[in-house]
Amino acid sequence: MQELVFGLIGGTALLMYGVDKMGEGLEKASGDMMRKILSVLTGRVWSAFLVGTFITALVQSSTAVTVLTVGFVNAGLMKLPQAVGIIYGANIGTTITAQLMAFSFHFKLTDIALPVIGLGFAISYFGQRKLKYVGNAVMGFGVMFLGLKILNSGIPLMQQSALLRRFFEEYASNPVIAIVLGAAATAMVHSSAATVGLVMILGQAGLLDLKSAVCIMLGDNIGTCITAQMASLTGNTSARRTAWAHTLYNIIGVILAALLLPLFLKSIVVFTDSFNPSGGIAAQIANSHTLFNVLSAVVFLPFTKQYVRFLELIIRNKGETEDTPVYLDRLLLDNPTAAIKAVASEMARVTDIARRMLEEVMNAFRENDERLLEKARKDEDTLNTLQRQVTMYIVDLSKHPLSDKQSRAVPAMISGINNAERIGDHALSIVALAEEKIDGGLVFSEEALSDLKRMHEVIGTMFDLTIDSLKRTDGSHIKEVESLENTLDDMSREVQAGHARRLEEGRCSLEAGLIFLDVVNYLERIADHIFKACLSGTVMAEATHNGR
C-alpha cells in the first residue's frame, strides 16, 4: 500500500510538473510570436479560431492563451468576438498533449524519459536565449513521460487495491459525480492535461471504464476555466465577459455531451477504431478530449454573434467608476508591446476626459452656468486620480525587461499622462476665472466671446486628432497637431491685439479684459500640452511597432 501511495504521489507530481514545465518552456520560446499573432492576426472570428488553435498547439497551454486573451480584451486590444474565436481554438490546441500521452503509451515512449530529460538539460545548459527555453520544454516532455512511467508501473498495485476499486465503482461510475470530480481536480492543479493523463492511467488499470473516464474528462474542461475567471476578477466588464465566454462555452458543451452521452461514446469508439484500433482506452480518452472540443467549436462557430450578444446581455457593466483605469491590466506587464498600447488607450481616455472638462468650462463661461463648473471640478479630480494610477502602472512596466525603444517610451508615457493632467489644471484655472466673471456680473463683448470660441474650436480639433492617434498608437496626426498648435499661437497674438483695440475704443471693461487675457493664455498653454501628449504618442507608436 505504501509503494502504491508513494508512486501515485510522486508520479502525479512529476506528471503535473512536466506538463507545467513543458508549457512554460514552449510559451517562453514562442512568447513574442504568440503575443504578436494574437494581437494582430485575429481580425475575424474564423481567423481568431485558427490562430487560437495554432498558438495553443504550439505552447501547449490553453490557460496561458486564455489568460492573455482576457488581458488583451481588458486593454482594448481585442474585441469580444475575436476573443471568443481564440477560446474555441485554444480548447482544440490543448488536446495535443493528451494525444501525445496516448501516443507515448502505445509506442512506449515512456521508456526514453530519462534520455529526453538529459537532452533537454543539455540544450538548456549550453544553449543561448530561446534555446534555453526549448531545452526546458524538452525536459518538461521527459519529466511528463517519467511521471507517466511511474504511474504506469503502479497499475498492478492499483488493480489489487480494493479501496481504489470500490471508490471508482461507487462514485466515478455516476456521470454527474465523475464530471464534478474532473472539474474539481483540474481546478486544483490548473492543468486539464495532467488530469487527463491520470485518467488514462486509471483506465489502463481497469479502474475506470470509458464512460466514467469520459465524464471525468468532461469535468476537466469546466475545471480549466478557473484560471481565466481569477484573471478577470480585477478586469473590466469586457474581461469578465471573456472569462465567462470560456466558462459558459465549456459548461454548455459538457451539458450537451452529457445529454447525448451514449451517442458521444459510440462516436469515440468508432473514431478510435478507424484511426488507431490498437490504441486501447488511452487512445479513446485522448480522442474523447479532442472530439469534444472540435464538436463544441463546430456547434458554436456559426452562432458566435448570438453568443456574444448573450454574454453582453447577462454580464452587465458592474458600475465601474470613471476614475478607475479601464485598459490597464497587470497581466500585460510581461508583454511590453501590449502594455504600452494599453497605456496609450488609457491616455486617450484621460485626454478625452480633459477635453470634456474644457468644453464644460467654456460653455459655463459663455452661458454663466455654475452647474457646469461643478462638473468640471469633478472631472479634474478624476484626472488627478487617473494620472497617479497610470503613472504607477508605467513605473511597474519599467521594471520589466524592455528593448531600447520600449525603454525610451517610459519617460514619454509619463510625460504624456502628465500633460493630459496639466490640461485639467489649466481648465480648473479657467473655472476660477468663470466664477469671477459670474460673481462680478461681468459682460464680454460678442467679439471677445467669438474669439474664445474660435480658439476653443481649434483646440477641439487638436484633441480629436491626438485622441485618435493615441487610440491607434500610430503617431499619424503629429504634423497636423503641430500645425494647429502653431495656428493657435498666431491666433492668440491676433486675439490679444484685437482685445487691445477694444480697450482703446472703450468697448471692454478693464476687469473683463484681464479675465479675457488670462483665459487666452490658459487656452494657449492647453494647446501646448495637447501637442506634447501627441508627441509622446509618437514615441509609444515607435515602441509598439518595432518593439524588438
Distance CA 329, CA 327 (A): 6
Chain centre distance of CA 85: 14
* pLDDT for the residue numbered 548: 38
Report the predicted TM-score, pTM, of the whole model to 2 decimal places: 0.71
Grid cell 482703446 in the structure block, residue: 504
The answer to whether 145 and 104 are in contact (CB under 8 A) is: yes
Same domain, 362 and 305: no
CB 430 within 8 A of CB 361: yes
**Residue pLDDT, tens place only, 184-228:** 988 887 778 788 888 998 888 888 899 999 999 999 999 989 888
Position 467 in a domain:
yes
**320-352 residue pLDDT tens:** 678 888 888 887 887 788 889 899 999 999 999
CA separation, residue 532 to residues 15, 74, 362, 417, 545 (Å) = 54, 27, 22, 10, 20
Query: What pLDDT, in 10s, does the model give residues 152-190?
Result: 787 676 767 777 777 777 777 899 999 999 999 888 877
What is the pLDDT at residue 239? Answer: 82
323 found inside a domain? no
100-116 pLDDT tens trace? 888 887 777 778 888 99
Instruction: Please provide the size of the chain in residues.
Output: 548
What are the counts of helices (DSSP H) followed by strands (DSSP E) for the chain? Answer: 24, 0
CB 531 within 8 A of CB 481: yes
- Do 339 and 304 reside in the same domain of the chain? no
pLDDT in tens, 25-65: 776 666 566 556 665 555 688 888 988 898 888 777 777 78
pLDDT digits 0-9 by tens, 65-106: 887 788 788 777 788 898 899 999 999 998 988 898 888 877
Q: What is the per-residue pLDDT for 547?
A: 39
Task: Provide the domain limits for residue 288.
Answer: 2-314
Mean pLDDT of the chain: 86
| Dihedral-angle region of residue 235 (phi above 0 means left; psi in -120 to 50 means alpha; beta otherwise) | beta
233/485: higher pLDDT: 485
Backbone phi and psi for residue 357, each to the nearest 5 degrees, phi listed first? -60, -45
* CATH classification at residue 374: 1.20.58.220
502 and 356 inside one domain: yes
Q: Which long-range contacts (CB under 8 A, 24 or more apart) does 152-156 make?
A: 152/105, 152/110, 152/201, 152/204, 153/7, 154/3, 154/4, 154/7, 154/8, 154/11, 154/201, 155/201, 155/204, 155/205
pLDDT: is 492 or 39 the higher one?
Answer: 492
Residue 334 CB-half CA count within 13 A: 11
289 and 401 part of one domain: no
Residue 326 in domain: no
Three state DSSP letters for 209-259 = CHHHHHHHHHHHHHHCCHHHHHHHCCCCHHHHHHHHHHHHHHHHHHHHHHH
Among the residue ranges 108-117, 488-497, 532-541, the one predicted with the least confidence is 108-117
Q: In the listed set 314, 344, 376, which residue is the last one of a domain according to the structure?
A: 314
* pLDDT at res. 31: 54
Same domain, residue pair 287 and 350: no
pLDDT of residue 290: 94
Instruction: Specify the number of domains making up the chain.
Output: 2
- Given this model, what pLDDT does residue 36 score? 62
CA angle 242, 60, 32 (to 5 degrees): 75
C-alpha cell at 311: 454574454
Q: 245 and 102, same structural domain?
A: yes
On whether both 278 and 183 belong to a single domain, the answer is yes
Residues 276 and 375 in one domain: no
Is residue 1's pLDDT more than 90? Answer: no
pLDDT at 157: 66
